[in-house]
């Protein structure tokens, strides 16, 4: 099937990926843009998994001050080479993540970074609420675990729904950047400052 150039450009605009990747995805999905995007996302996750073990000793620090100078965010992104750190895609991602942090106020980077005391306190509250609502005792642990996963999606940056695309988590957006650059990239750490807090 011959793929129309406008279709390829539309897919490139949607994904930011290269001409050949977009053409191949469209050929494999018979010109279906939605299926091509889904296929490229899965491929991006596979590339990210393959690159996960690569050392990330280069990178960049990006700072963002929100208009009004009441909120500021700094983020450290690590990647394999300084070349990728200087690309427009990486810099734009860093800016987007800073805007995300400004808006959604994550407390931690990932679930493994959550303070155990904070987590224990939250679990205690969840358990108490469930007992008071009359839920069966044998189901409480399972329900609390589900609520903990929801808590992670609220307080952990990597688990949050990406502010610029609510179809992706921050982790999935990062995987798309990894697929686009062909290098392992990690969000190492972040800090959010707000006057009066």
Per the DSSP assignment, residues forming a β-bridge with 161 are 169
**What pLDDT is attached to residue 61?**
95
Class of domain 5-51: mainly alpha
Residue 114 in 3-state DSSP?
Answer: coil
**What pLDDT is attached to residue 137?**
78
Q: Where in the chain are the domains?
A: 5-51, 58-109+156-194, 115-154
Per the DSSP assignment, residues forming a β-bridge with 193 are 72
If one counts every other C-beta atom within 10 angstroms of the C-beta of residue 126, the result is: 19
Q: Is-contact 59 76, C-beta < 8 A?
A: yes
- The set of residues, in sequence order, having a beta carbon less than 8 Å from that of 55 and lying 6+ positions away, is 80, 184
Residue 116 in 3-state DSSP?
Answer: helix
Q: What is the pLDDT of residues 58-110, one digit of tens each?
A: 899 999 999 999 999 999 999 988 898 999 999 999 999 999 999 999 999 99
**What pLDDT is attached to residue 16?**
62
Segment (H or E) for 146: helix 140-155
What would the two tokens of residue 79 be? 């990647």
Place of tokens 């990406």: 162
Which pTM does this prediction carry? Answer: 0.71
Place of tokens 């610029």: 164
CATH for 58-109+156-194 is 3.30.479.20
């Amino acid at each position: 099937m011959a793929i129309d150039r406008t279709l390829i450009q539309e897919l490139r605009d949607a994904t930011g990926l290269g001409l050949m990747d977009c053409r191949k995805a469209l050929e494999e999905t018979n010109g279906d843009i939605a299926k091509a995007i889904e296929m490229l996302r899965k491929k991006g996750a596979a590339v990210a998994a393959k690159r996960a073990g690569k050392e990330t000793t280069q990178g960049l620090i990006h700072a963002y001050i929100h208009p009004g100078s009441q909120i500021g965010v700094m983020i450290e992104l690590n990647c394999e080479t300084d070349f990728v750190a200087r690309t427009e895609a990486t810099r734009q991602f860093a800016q987007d993540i800073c805007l995300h942090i400004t808006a959604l106020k994550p407390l931690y980077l990932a679930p493994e970074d959550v303070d155990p005391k904070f987590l224990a306190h939250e679990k205690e509250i969840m358990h108490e609420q469930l007992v008071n609502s009359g839920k069966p005792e044998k189901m409480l642990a399972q329900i609390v675990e589900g609520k903990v996963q929801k808590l992670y999606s609220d307080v952990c940056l990597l688990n949050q729904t990406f502010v610029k695309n609510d179809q992706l988590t921050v982790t999935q957006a990062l995987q798309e950047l990894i697929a686009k650059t062909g290098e392992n990239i990690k969000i190492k750490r972040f800090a959010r400052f707000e006057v009066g807090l």
